[in-house]
Structure 1
Amino acid sequence: MTKTNTDSIRRSVLGAALALTAGFIVVPAGALHAEGGTVLKSVPSSDLAILDPIWTTAQITGEHSFLIYDTLFSIDSSGMAQPQMLESYSVSDDGLSYTFVLRDGLTFHDGTPVEAADCVASVERWSKRRPDGEMMNAYGAKWAVVDARTFTLTLDKPYSNVEAGLGDNARPAFIMRQEDAATDAFEQIKTAVGSGPYMFDEEAWRPGSKVVYHKFAEYVPRSEPSDGFAGGKVAGPDTIEWTVIPDSATAVNALIAGEVDMVISPTPDLLPLLDADPNIETMTLSPIGFQGMLRFNSLATPTDKAGVRKAINLVVQAHQEEYLSAMVGLPENYRVCLTPMVCGSPYETMVGTEQFTDVDVKAKVAEYLEEAGYADEPVVVLDPTDQQALHSMILVLAQQLRDVGINVDLQATDWGTVSKRRTTKAGPAEDPNGYNIFPTWWGANSMLNPITNVPLNTAPGGENWYGWPSDETLESLRLSFADARTEEEKQKIVDDIQQRFFDVMPYVWVGQYFAPMGYRTDRIDGIVSGGTPVYWNITLKD
């Protein structure tokens, strides 16, 4: 069996523009970059604090990476993986051997050619931190260079998700230079050099304020039409600028005034202002939405006790609508969902969820806390005040936990700091950066599959995702999903996973919500939807 596709590309465009807070000059959105050319100005979802897409799962780092890196595969609008950097690839009849051939002429931003050794090193690094890569390793994955443009993958047993895993819309295997990919997967890379459609302007980078990207003249799109995240990804604007504006009202006013072209995450209460402007349109990036999450540090007292985690989860599930309403406003912007496997997904299951309804919450919480030996230890909760939805979620949580007798230490900070502090394994008593709970969100399409659900990994050893829960039973069930051959088998495994999940409680899910973005229709056209904001195929109007 042979699968072939020719002529690869990637072209992403993200941006941000001038800080519109006090002390910065506002430049009209149609203004030219100092070196000439067109400029797209966008207010991103948060500040870019970390450049390494392997070291972190922060969405803003993913958005940055789609701009500067290329991928071997990308996912089209039907959910199928299609080649991007590859001229062709083939799979042996037994499913154990893959051969990949790169397109000719792929070039890194420093002028060096992209070669098979870069791809192998990048995929191997990716595989140490990403669920699909970890699964491939469990199936005996061995990558090898054949020549400058050709490399292979061999497996001990067939794994059906190779292409989709490498091209995942949330965290694909971004291809780096071999020297960068040689960095330990648990250490951050020091550079941001890719072969994608835009180059990162490190000199113009002002953390907390501004990020700039310039079109890479040597990048050549695929010849196929754009289709989802696959096909021809054509870069339009010469420069992409992100302006970090923590205050949503300021960002929305800038969009209405024409000072920026896009605002990725306007707060729900401001959407009527955007809808009232004939030159602005709002759209939802993902039809299945996002899943809010509270992640425990399972190594730190007192959230190292399952009883404490179950108590906190019960508080949330019993009042989920209060959280969602505070986060995104009107009911059309959210969906109450009592299953962590995502409502509306192929593997939605209500097994075990009856415990969250018709329950005396205070009495059951007291039972859980007594079971855990909770002795009024402070629970340090990180509060990213520059992320409206997460900030609102945390304020509701803090009050409700106090109401049931949990000692909450609420620590206000920003999202960039949360992204750094959540890597701290030591608890608050041992390290000033320690914590017990941090909030985040995930694209719901990542959470519905046990393999792609990153925080569901409970492999012992402390090398799984931040929070580091450990449970061999749950992890064994998760891995068994990849071996299931029928949908009936898969659903049975998902039911068993959910039952064990409720015993272990590696995280708290907070329903589903839908996050619209706003953009000026009189300035831009061609926005691609798919969950992660990307900017290829955007054209700027005169």
Structure 2
Amino acid sequence: MSAPSVVGAQGSVARTLRVIPQSNLTSLDPVWTTAVVTRNHAFLVFDQICAQDAKGEIKPQMAEGWLLSDDRLTLTFTLREGLVFHDGQKVTSKDVVASIKRWARRDPFMQVLQPAVAEVEAMDDRRFRFRLHRPVPLLLQALGQTQFPCFVMPERIASTDAFTQIREAVGSGPFRFVANEWNPGQSAIWAKHDGYVPRQEPVDGLAGGRAPRIDRVQWTIISDPATSASAMTQGEQDYWEYPLHDLLPVLRRSRDLVVEQRLLEGTYGVARFNTLQPPFNNPAIRRAVAMAVDQRDYLTAVAGTDPRGWGVCEGVFTCDTPLANEVGSEILKTHSIERARAALREAGYANEKVVLITPSDYPQINALSLVTADLLQRIGMNVEVISADWGTLIQRRASKEPVERGGWSVVHTTSSGASLTMPVFHLFLRANGANAWFGWPDDAEIERLRGAWVDAPDAAAGRVVAEQLNRRAMEVMSYVPLGYYWQPSAWRKNLTGVFRAPATVFWNIGKS
């Protein structure tokens, strides 16, 4: 009597990709939050108009193609046939236009380009166009970016204000979100979208055919890394997105596991100040803290003492990319607690409380946070460390209130190297006040330079602007770069189709 149910259970496991994600999923809205875990969810559910391949080139995805007019003032897209939302409704240009408009209000890249856009309009069910005041060579790069993707939602959902969080995840991507099985803090489920028609091309980065080769994707939140490692080695889980570095040797000893760097770039750490509230509304105090930072302390705390696992990068742009420079970065090379303590006194620090929130369930960011907490205490600041789960942290960091009313002073996060290569989508560089990333720095000169980079006539001129941006960023010091580390993933050897990409995505992956 029990045999059929056992066989059924085994079959269910064979058709389910069991994943330990980087952190808890608390928001379904990839426009409202920049949390990478929400972006990973969104890549399962939503599709893009165009997408980046492994070389960073923009290729059609939902679009069949596009045409730029001879005067370069009209860019017309045609959607490919067979696009259907998870609720059964056909995807039309009106859905795409509404999605573009909502996304554009929050995307740093598009905010820079927006003054050149006269209108985005639907022409018929499959065609839509951008009408431009002047040529915008970077428009396709903005639409197809990985950092803050333009995901397409039904018009009824995309009509939600960009600063209001959506609660319904309906897209046209390869998997549909199973809302009634979502248990925040424990698990989340996605099921294969039977109506999805992938592009008939090999997968290439985030471009090509996004073929769903598994029936279900199940994320299970396991906050204890040792428990996660045991679940992987014993076959209870199939994929661990961000294994703790200390446990990599244990995972590598297992004959059943693969441990490899799947992401295309290193992971960059960031300490972000709340520039609205004391004491970090004072740039001199922010700069004093930066004088005490030694990136090596942070990187070894996360990735160990082997320097092959990490790298110092004391500028705002991703190291070893065209705009990388350290002009004006001398402050990050100070590495002195004593000088930082003296600078803090000179800046007029008056023992204001500093609230640093650290994620208890995100080991890598927790490690970065605790290094900063120790550093702040050593230079003489009045520090309160609050431990919270990652989902709570990303909700709280949206608060602009003083610390005594639930606000914050310092938070940490990480970013892919690709997200920090250009001024237009560098979230932490943006300094447009209320519309900036959490911390809300307001600096007209940084904003002027970001626009100047877009208008630079050639690469050499753009490089000059990038150096000016690095110098100004070190003066404003709205965040402290903490270097980068390599973050491998682990998966069981019976998984097929695992490929390298600039984001953690689960299409093309099956089980043998």
Structure 2 length normalisation: TM-score?
0.96
Matched residue pairs, number? 506
Q: Distance in 1 between matches of 2:35 and 2:333?
A: 33
Structure 1 stretch 380-389 or stretch 138-147: which is displaced more?
Answer: 138-147
* Cα displacement (A) at 1:37: 7.2
Identify the residue that residue 63 of structure 1 maps to in structure 2.
40
SS at match of 1:473: helix
Determine if the alignment matches structure 1 residue 411 to structure 2 residue 386: yes
CA distance in 1, matches of 2:251, 2:107: 37
3-state DSSP class of the match of 1:170? coil
Residue 507 of structure 2 corresponds to residue 530 of structure 1? no
What's 2:73 paired with? 96
| Whole-angstrom distance in 2 between the partners of 1:456 and 1:52 | 23
Inter-partner Cα distance in structure 2 for 1:358 and 1:290: 23
- Shift in Å at residue 31 of structure 1? 3.2
Change in Cα spacing, 1:234 to 1:471, as seen in structure 2 (3 Å) is same
Q: Aligned AA for 2:402?
A: G
Native 8 Å contact 1:28 1:258 kept in 2: no
Residue 447 (structure 1) aligned with residue 447 (structure 2): no
Give the counterpart of 1:476 among 426, 431, 448.
448
For residue 401 of structure 1, report the CA deviation from its aligned partner: 1.2
Contact residue 528 and residue 534 of structure 1 kept, 8 A: no
> How many angstroms does 1:29 deviate by?
13
CA distance in 1, matches of 2:9, 2:149: 33
- Contact preservation (8 Å) 1:199, 1:214: yes
Alignment of 1:507 with 2:475, yes or no, is no
Alignment of 1:377-396 (within 5 A): 377-396=352-371
Distance (whole Å) between structure 1 residues aligned to residue 84 and residue 101 of structure 2 = 20
How far the C-alpha of 1:80 sits from its partner, in A, is: 0.5
1:29–1:524 Cα change, 3 Å: farther
Structure 1 residue aligned with 2:319? 343
Paired AA for residue 295 in structure 1: R
1:74 alignment partner, SS class:
strand
Q: Tell me the equivalent position of 2:175.
A: 198
Q: Which amino acid is 2:350 matched to?
A: A
1: CA distance, partners of 2:335 / 2:213: 55
Select the residue among 405, 408, 424 that pairs with 1:435. Answer: 408
Q: CA deviation at 1:287?
A: 3.7
Contact 2:46-2:171 at 8 Å conserved across structures: yes
Tell me the residue number matched to 1:4: none
C-alpha distance in 1 between matches for 2:215 and 2:260: 24
Q: Supply the distance in 2 between the matched residues of 1:408 and 1:177 (Cα, whole angstroms).
A: 45
Preserved contact between residue 212 and residue 240 of structure 1 (Cα < 8 Å): yes
CA distance, structure 1, for counterparts of residue 335 and residue 189 of structure 2: 52
Q: Report what 2:222 is aligned to.
A: 245
Q: After the TM superposition, which segments of 4 or more aligned residues of structure 1 sit over 6 Å from their partners?
A: 27-30
Residue 487 of structure 1 corresponds to 459
Amino acid at match of 1:527: V
Structure 1's 357 and 439: CA in aligned 2 closer, same or farther, altered over 3 A? closer
Partner of 1:136, secondary structure, is helix
- Matched residue, 1:18: none
Q: Tell whether the 8 Å contact from 1:314 to 1:365 is kept in structure 2 after alignment.
A: no
357-366 or 201-210, which moves further after superposition?
A: 357-366
Aligned residue in 1 for 2:431: 458
Q: 1-side partners of 2:296 and 2:9: how far apart?
A: 42
Quick check: 1:29–1:39 contact (8 Å CA) kept in 2? no
Give 3-state SS (helix, strand or coil) of 1:157's partner. coil
Deviation digits for residues 327-386 of structure 1 (CA, Å, limit 9, x no counterpart): 111322210111121211111112122333356542344224422x21010110001111
Shift of 1:189: 0.9
Change (3 A) 1:28 1:61: farther
Is the contact made by 2:359 and 2:390 (CA closer than 8 Å) also made in structure 1?
yes
> Displacement of 1:28 after TM fit?
12
Q: Choose between structure 1 and 2: higher helix proportion.
A: 2
Q: Counterparts of 2:511 and 2:9 in 1: how far apart (Å)?
A: 9
What residue in structure 2 maps to residue 38 of structure 1? 15
SS in 2 for 1:127: helix
Secondary structure at the residue paired with 1:325?
Answer: helix
Query: After the TM superposition, which residues 83-482 of structure 1 pair with which residues of structure 2 at under 5 Å, given as runs?
Result: 83-316=60-293, 319-329=294-304, 330-357=306-333, 360-371=336-347, 373-429=348-404, 431=405, 433-460=406-433, 462-482=434-454
Deviations 1:425-471 (A, max 9, x none): 11213x1x2000111011111112111101211113x1221111000
* In structure 1, distance between residues paired with 2:334 and 2:78: 58
CA shift, 1:256, in A, is 0.4
Preserved CA contact (<8 Å) 2:205 2:502? no
Do the aligned residues in 1 keep the contact of 2:292 with 2:340 (CA within 8 Å)? no
Q: Deviations over 1:52-89 (max 9, x none)?
A: 00000000000000001011001111211001111221
Q: Which amino acid aligns with 1:121?
A: A
Query: Match of 1:24?
Result: none
Alignment deviations for residues 112-137 of structure 1 (CA, whole Å, 9 cap, x no partner): 11000000000011001112221221
Aligned to 2:3: none
SS in 2 for 1:191: coil
**Inter-partner Cα distance in structure 1 for 2:415 and 2:334:** 29
The alpha carbon displacement at 1:539 in A equals 1.9
Could you report, residue by residue, the CA deviation over 1:130-153 in whole angstroms, capped at 9, with x for unpaired residues? 122212212234101111111110
Distance 2:16 2:9 in 1: 7
In 2, the alpha carbon distance for the partners of 1:212 and 1:28 equals 21
Q: What is the one-letter code of the residue matched to 1:32?
A: G
**1:136-191 deviation line (CA, Å, top 9, x unaligned):** 21223410111111111011122222222111123210000001011110010121
* Cα separation, 1, equivalents of 2:395 and 2:314: 30
CA distance in 2, matches of 1:364, 1:414: 31
For 2:376 and 2:65, locate their aligned partners in 1 and report how far apart those are by CA, in whole Å.
Answer: 55
- Name the counterpart of 1:5: none
Q: Is the 8 A contact 1:199 1:213 kept in 2?
A: yes
Letter in 2 for 1:348: A
**Identity of matched residues, %:** 35
Counterpart in the other structure of 1:15: none
Counterpart residue identity of residue 393, structure 1: L
After superposition, the C-alpha distances for 1:251-270 in whole angstroms (9 at most, x for unaligned) are 11101001111000110000
1:42 positional shift:
0.7
Corresponding letter in the other structure for 1:251: S
Alpha-carbon distance between aligned partners in 2 of 1:267 and 1:359, rounded to the nearest angstrom: 27
Aligned residue number for residue 11 of structure 1: none
Opposite residue 408 of structure 2, the aligned amino acid is Y
| Aligned amino acid, residue 148 of structure 1 | D
Over the aligned positions, Cα root-mean-square deviation in angstroms equals 1.7
